[in-house]
Amino acid sequence: MAADKRAIALRLNIPFRPAPCSYRGGVTLPAGDARHRRAYFEALHREVEAAAPDFDDCIVSAVWVGEGIAGHMCDEGLAELLRALPRMFAMADDVEITVTAHPGMVSVETLNACKRGRVTRLAIEYDTASSSEWTALGRFLDPSAMDTTSMVLGRSARETLALDFSIAIGAPGQTYASLRRSIEKAIGFGASHVTLQMIGQDRLDGAASARASRNETHVQLLGYATAFLTARGFDQYLPRLFARKGASCCYAMMESGGSDILGFGLGAKTRFLGALAENTSDLGVYQAYSAVPERCIAWVMQPSTAS
């Protein structure tokens, strides 16, 4: 019975990005061609399928598909993988499934993949409505691409998909006015959840004195964003995570609360029964041995030494 099973979350790493991102961590790869991405999804599917029998006493409450950009990179492969999950894992009736997306990279095919895969949330890496800030961050396309994505989403998709917008804090040249406009645009696009993405002082170039000054600015901008979102009806339920009533992210709460999380894919991290593990970041090794998950593990820290 489901009540007897251990609640876990899954993290499926899709490492592809249309352009490098200097301020988000994790293992990422250039988008490459469709065959390249398809081969990765097939390897990911093999890993998940091979590992699943070891967790038949668990039930999946939340799934995060990301690390890079998942939407539009291989919509057919994404749909196939998500549709296969209930055959491999016990899934909660109200399982939350989040897929990361990039403005301008959500197509009808992406929405169809989300529908077939029972996706409940889109995490959109929006960050800013300012073209100059977008350029300074080295982002792909332009913030106006979100207008196209909004039209693709339409009313019907918004009724079935909760939208989580990331908003950058500390982008070069950011002001209170530009931050406010970015948040207002995200809310206007239908955000029920906002994630404030800190641009760390160690992630962007600059002298130490400049970084120290920027850090102070971060604190001020973060306070401004927090007050503004609160005034607009968003509740801060975890640091830098804001949601309207009923729109909190289950995966984020499980991750923050220390729940077991099984990570699959390149560089994926797992936390289970106190043990920590991380997959290889070598694409060749991962694709060659994904059907034998233990050969993809780069390191393991057992509960006795984990802290």
pLDDT per residue as tens digits for the range 215-244: 788 999 999 999 999 999 999 999 999 999
**Residue 285 Cα to chain centre, angstroms:** 24
Instruction: Determine how β-strand 162-169 pairs with β-strand 58-67.
Output: unpaired
**Per-residue model confidence (pLDDT) at position 1:** 45
Cα 23 from Cα 212, distance rounded (Å): 17
pLDDT at residue 24, rounded to an integer: 80
Give the separation between CA 194 and CA 206, rounded to whole angstroms.
Answer: 28
Inform me whether the pLDDT recorded for 63 exceeds 90.
yes
User: Of 98, 84, 13, which is closest to residue 50 (Cα–Cα)?
Assistant: 84
Alpha helices in 52-130 (DSSP H): 75-88, 108-116
pLDDT tens profile 36-58: 899 999 999 999 999 999 999 99
Other CB atoms within 10 Å distance of the CB of residue 94: 9
Return the C-alpha torsion angle 220, 222, 227, 230, nearest 10: 180
What local confidence, expressed as pLDDT, does residue 284 receive? 94
DSSP 26: S
Mean pLDDT for the stretch of residues 165-182 = 96
* Helix (H/G/I), strand (E/B), else coil: 301: strand
Tokens 């006015």 map to which residue?
Answer: 177
Per-residue pLDDT reduced to its tens digit, 151-169: 999 987 888 999 999 999 9
Among the listed residues 224, 184, 219, the one whose alpha carbon sits nearest the alpha carbon of residue 198: 219
- Tell me how far apart the alpha carbons of residues 79 and 38 are, in angstroms, rounded to a whole number: 12
Query: Does the pLDDT value for residue 122 go beyond 90?
Result: yes
Residue type, position 295, single letter: R
